[in-house]
Amino acid sequence: MNVCYAAIGEDEDISIAQVFRVADGRIVATPVPGGTSPPDLSRGRLEHRYAESWLRNILAEMSG
């Protein structure tokens, strides 16, 4: 899975995501849609919480 978050305000984010798999030795996108934030930005605060959680987790993994 590849996810990219972008802050659009102090407590709002948007995102884009895609799910991948390995097939015949190659990395390919799955037919399951990854998705993007809705155009009306209705999930901005929720996505901000997801982005903060992702950051905390990746930093914890990197620091061992």
Per-residue tokens: 51:
């982005």
Cβ–Cβ under 8 Å, residues 13 and 5: yes
* 61 φ, ψ (degrees, to nearest 5): -65, -40
Residue 20, pLDDT score: 93
Contact 49/59 with Cβ under 8 angstroms?
no
Tokens standing for residue 62 = 């990197």
Contact 12, 49 (CB under 8 A): no
Q: What is the pLDDT of residues 4-59, one digit of tens each?
A: 999 999 999 999 999 999 999 999 999 877 789 999 999 999 999 999 999 999 99
Give the three-state DSSP class for 55.
Answer: helix
pLDDT (0 to 100) of residue 24: 97
- pTM of the predicted structure, to 2 decimals: 0.74
Q: What is the pLDDT of residue 2?
A: 87
